[in-house]
C-alpha cells in the first residue's frame, strides 16, 4: 500500500516544482536587470546556473549535495534515490518529448525548388558544423591524452553534442562514455560542455548583434513583441480550442502516445539486438521523431478517409509544449552537473568551450555569406544560436535581426531537421566508435567533412570547373 506522505510519492513533483520555481525567479531577475536582459542568456540557462551555484555553496557549507538531503527517517527528501537521478531522468525524457512535439507540427504542403535547396543546405550546414566541432574537439583531447596519462582521449567528441545538439544528447553520450568506457565524470563533463555552449551563444550573439547595431543594420535593442493573430493560433480546419476535450489535452495525448510508441519500438529492437541496448535507448529522441511521424501520417490518413473531419494537431500549442520540455531539459541538465568530479578537467573544458565558440562562429559566418546572401545575417544568427545552444537560442538571436520572421531563416531551422537527421545519423555511431578508435574516428570525420562541404559549395566548385573547361575549349578553337 502506498503511503501518500512518502518521498517516493512527492520526490519527483518536488524536483519539478523546484525547477519551475527557479525558472520563475530567473525570469524576474532577468527582466529586472538590464545587463542580463541585454545578454540574451536564456532564462532556463540562467536558472540552471543559479541552481548550480546554490548547490555548490550548499555542499561547501554542509558537505552534502542539496539534491541528496535526507529526512529524519533516513529517506531522501527528493525521491527514493535522491534528486540527481530525477534531474538526469528529466533531461533524458524532455529531450525526446521536445523533439516529438516539434515533429508533430504540420509543415507547408508546397515548397519551391529554391526553398528546397536552401532547406537541404541548412541541414547539411548543421551536420557539417557537428563535424568540424567534433574534429577540433577530438584533436584537443587527443593531444591532452598524450600529455596527461589516463585521460579519456575521446572526450572531445562531446563538443558537437554539447554545442550542436544541446544538454540532452551531451548527457546521453557522457553517460555512455562513463558507464561503458570508463570515463570518470563523463556525464557531468558532457553537461558542462553544453552549459558552455549556451554561454558561447550568448556572448557571441551579443558581440555580433552589437557589431550589426553599430553598422546601423539593427534597430533599438528594446522591442515590443508582436501580437499574435488568430490564424497563427488556430486554423479553420482544426478542432475547436475548447470542446468536450481541451485542445491542449489532445496535444499532450498525442505526444504521450508517440512516446509510448517510441518505447515499444526501442524495446522491440533491443529484444532482437540486445547488445545495442545502450545505443538504442540513447537515441530515444530519434526514435521519437520516427514515432511522431508515423502518428502524423496516420492522422492525415484518417482525415483523408473521413474517419476524422478536423485536424487534431495545433502548431501553436505544440510549439508551446516543445518549448516547455526544452526549458525543463536545460535547467535540469545544468542543475545535474557535479562540479566535484570536474576539478581536474576545468582547463580542458575551457579550451574546448573557447574552441567551439570560435569554430562555430567563423564557419557559420562563412557559410551564411556564401550560400544565403539574401539574408546572411538572419541565417547566421539562427544557425550560430542553434549550434551553440538549442533551437530556442537560435530563435532568440534571430528575433533581434528579424522580429517578424520576414526572411526564411526561421522556416529553415524547422524544416532542416529531416535532412540533418539523415546526414547526421552516421555521426551518432561514430561517437561511440571514438571511444575505441579515436584517431580513426578523427580521420573519418575529416573525410566526411570534406565530402559534405564539396556538396555544400557545389555550385561554386563546379561553376569554376565549367568556366575553366569553357575557356580551354575556346582557346583550342
Write out the H or E segment, with its range, that includes residue 325.
Answer: helix 315-335
Q: What is the pLDDT of residues 45-84, one digit of tens each?
A: 888 889 988 888 888 888 888 888 877 777 777 777 778 7
Q: What is the mean pLDDT of residues 5-19?
A: 80
Question: For position 280, what pLDDT does the model report?
Answer: 79
For 295-309, 336-350, 366-380, which range has the lowest pLDDT when averaged over its residues?
A: 336-350
Where exactly are the structural domains of the chain? 7-68+76-217+328-462, 243-314
Greater confidence (316 vs 109) lies with: 316
Q: Which DSSP letter does residue 389 get?
A: S
Average pLDDT over residues 216-221: 60
Q: What is the pLDDT of residues 321-346, one digit of tens each?
A: 988 888 888 888 888 877 776 777 88
Whether residue 194 contacts residue 162, with contact meaning beta carbons closer than 8 Å, is answered with yes
pLDDT for residue 342: 72
Range of lowest pLDDT (28-32, 277-281, 364-368) = 277-281
**What is the Cα–Cα distance from 411 to 415, expressed in whole angstroms?**
6
For 119, 262, 458, the CA distances from 390, given in Å and listed in that order, are 18, 22, 28
Q: pLDDT of 156-193, one tens digit each?
A: 999 998 888 777 778 888 888 988 888 888 888 888 88
What distances in angstroms separate CA 315 from CA 9, 173, 297, one per listed residue?
34, 31, 16
Residue 477 CA to residue 468 CA, distance in Å, equals 14
Q: Are 445 and 138 in contact (CB under 8 A)?
A: yes
Structure-block grid coordinates of residue 33: 536587470
Amino acid at each position: 500500500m502506498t503511503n501518500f506522505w512518502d518521498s517516493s510519492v512527492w520526490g519527483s513533483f518536488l524536483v519539478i516544482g523546484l525547477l519551475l520555481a527557479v525558472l520563475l525567479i530567473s525570469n524576474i531577475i532577468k527582466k529586472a536587470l538590464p545587463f542580463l536582459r541585454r545578454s540574451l542568456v536564456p532564462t532556463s540557462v540562467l536558472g540552471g546556473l543559479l541552481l548550480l551555484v546554490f548547490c555548490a555553496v550548499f555542499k561547501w557549507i554542509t558537505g552534502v549535495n542539496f539534491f541528496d538531503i535526507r529526512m529524519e527517517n533516513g529517506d531522501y527528501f527528493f525521491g527514493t534515490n535522491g534528486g540527481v537521478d530525477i534531474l538526469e531522468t528529466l533531461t533524458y525524457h524532455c529531450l525526446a518529448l521536445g523533439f516529438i512535439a516539434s515533429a508533430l507540427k504540420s509543415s507547408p504542403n508546397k515548397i519551391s525548388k529554391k526553398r528546397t535547396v536552401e532547406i537541404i543546405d541548412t541541414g547539411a550546414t548543421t551536420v557539417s558544423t557537428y563535424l568540424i566541432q567534433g574534429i577540433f574537439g577530438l584533436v584537443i583531447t587527443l593531444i591532452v591524452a598524450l600529455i596527461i596519462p589516463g585521460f579519456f582521449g575521446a572526450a572531445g567528441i562531446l563538443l558537437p553534442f554539447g554545442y550542436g545538439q544541446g544538454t540532452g544528447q551531451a548527457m546521453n553520450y557522457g553517460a555512455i562514455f562513463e558507464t561503458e568506457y570508463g570515463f570518470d565524470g563523463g556525464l557531468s563533463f558532457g553537461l558542462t560542455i553544453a552549459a558552455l555552449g549556451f554561454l558561447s551563444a550568448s556572448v557571441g550573439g551579443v558581440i555580433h548583434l552589437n557589431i550589426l547595431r553599430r553598422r546601423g543594420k539593427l534597430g533599438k535593442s528594446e522591442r515590443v513583441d508582436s501580437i499574435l493573430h488568430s490564424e497563427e493560433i488556430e486554423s479553420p480546419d482544426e478542432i475547436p480550442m475548447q470542446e468536450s476535450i481541451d485542445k491542449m489535452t489532445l496535444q499532450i495525448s498525442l505526444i504521450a502516445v508517440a512516446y509510448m510508441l517510441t518505447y515499444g519500438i526501442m524495446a522491440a529492437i533491443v529484444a532482437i539486438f540486445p547488445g545495442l541496448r545502450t545505443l538504442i535507448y540513447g537515441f530515444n529522441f530519434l526514435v521519437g521523431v520516427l514515432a511522431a511521424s508515423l502518428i502524423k501520417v496516420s492522422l492525415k490518413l484518417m482525415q483523408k478517409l473521413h474517419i476524422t473531419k478536423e485536424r487534431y494537431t495545433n502548431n501553436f500549442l505544440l510549439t508551446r509544449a516543445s518549448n516547455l520540455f526544452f526549458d525543463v531539459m536545460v535547467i535540469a541538465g545544468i542543475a545535474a552537473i557535479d562540479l566535484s568530479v570536474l576539478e581536474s578537467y576545468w582547463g580542458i573544458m575551457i579550451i574546448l568551450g573557447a574552441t567551439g565558440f570560435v569554430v562555430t562562429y567563423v564557419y557559420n559566418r562563412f557559410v551564411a555569406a556564401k550560400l544565403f546572401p539574401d539574408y546572411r545575417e538572419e541565417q547566421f544568427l539562427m544557425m550560430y544560436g542553434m549550434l551553440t545552444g538549442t533551437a530556442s537560442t537560435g530563435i532568440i538571436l534571430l528575433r533581434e535581426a528579424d522580429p517578424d520572421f520576414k526572411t526564411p531563416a526561421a522556416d529553415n531551422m524547422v524544416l532542416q531537421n529531416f535532412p540533418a537527421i539523415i546526414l547526421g545519423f552516421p555521426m551518432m555511431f561514430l561517437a561511440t566508435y571514438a571511444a575505441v578508435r579515436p584517431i580513426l574516428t578523427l580521420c573519418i570525420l575529416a573525410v566526411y567533412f570534406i565530402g559534405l562541404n564539396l556538396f555544400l559549395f557545389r555550385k561554386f566548385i563546379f561553376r569554376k570547373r565549367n568556366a575553366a573547361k569553357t575557356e580551354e575549349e575556346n582557346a583550342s578553337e
